[in-house]
Amino acid sequence: IAEPLAPLPLSVAGDPAREALGKRLFHDPRLSSQSQRSCSTCHPLDRGGMDGRARAVGVDGVRLRNTPTLFNVGFNFFFNWDGGSTTLEAHAERLLMNPKVMKMTWPELLAVLGADPQYAADFAAVYSDGLNRTNLLDALASFERSLVTPNSRFDRYLRGDHDALDQGEQEGYRLFKSVGCVACHQGANIGGNLFQKFGVFRTPKPSVEPPDPGRQAVTHSDRDRGVYRVPSLRNVAVTAPYFHDGRAADLDVAVDTMAQEQLGRRLASQEREAIVRFLHTLTGQYRGQSVTRGAAEAP
């Protein structure tokens, strides 16, 4: 029987020079207004690729949605909780120019980086037309596509090493499929590319006022009110808290909430525990090091 999930590739093809340039940009606070923050402020790679807050804090203290991890983001077709971007380049531009996130303008950003002789030289070495909007976004996207975390224990299990998961974890995987979690969390990224209403069987109480419109802000359709992109479950054990508003502090709460509100099921405690044990097997490796909270970022 074919598995509904697939292992991540052990590596992805990329341009090392573009990735290196993108990495510098990713960590450079000059990409934000008054150098308040860098991409890594909300997406620290030594903390699971997200900041650990229930809701991110934008420039000038504005509260945003929960920060999704950037690990394995290159396997997605939609980005942000509302799916408002369909390419990594558009995703990066949307955040850079968002007055609540990075609060930049293209004239200012290109002027600031263009005044740096090292950036000017490096862009000229990597791109024939040097530093410009298109190439800056390409470099950032190239780096983000390299953020792949293969070789989780579950990946090894899918490749035929059935000893990679113990019996309890395998039972959790069976429940993950039979209960219905896999209907939305599927594919190699175990989610990331579908949209679903938050609260199919029971509408959760809004955590903010006015209520977050979800994907409706993008499509302007009433049927998309409260609809969000289904997140990837890769590395989910190290990316708490959960959901677009960070309302679930741990995996047990998240699994219980999803079972009741999305699937109309009330799971027994041992069933939740088994699924949580399975979810812990989804933690992969970034450049040979396990993705954990507080682990040193690989060079």
Report helix, strand or coil for 299. Answer: coil
**pLDDT score for 298:** 38
Residues in the chain with pLDDT values less than 50: 295-299
Domains and CATH numbers, the chain: 16-145 (1.10.760.10), 153-290 (1.10.760.10)
How far apart CA 12 and CA 51 sit, in angstroms, is: 25
Q: How many CB atoms within 10 Å of residue 262?
A: 20
Pair of tokens at residue 206: 């809004």
How far apart CA 282 and CA 157 sit, in angstroms, is: 11
- The predicted model scores a pTM of 0.93
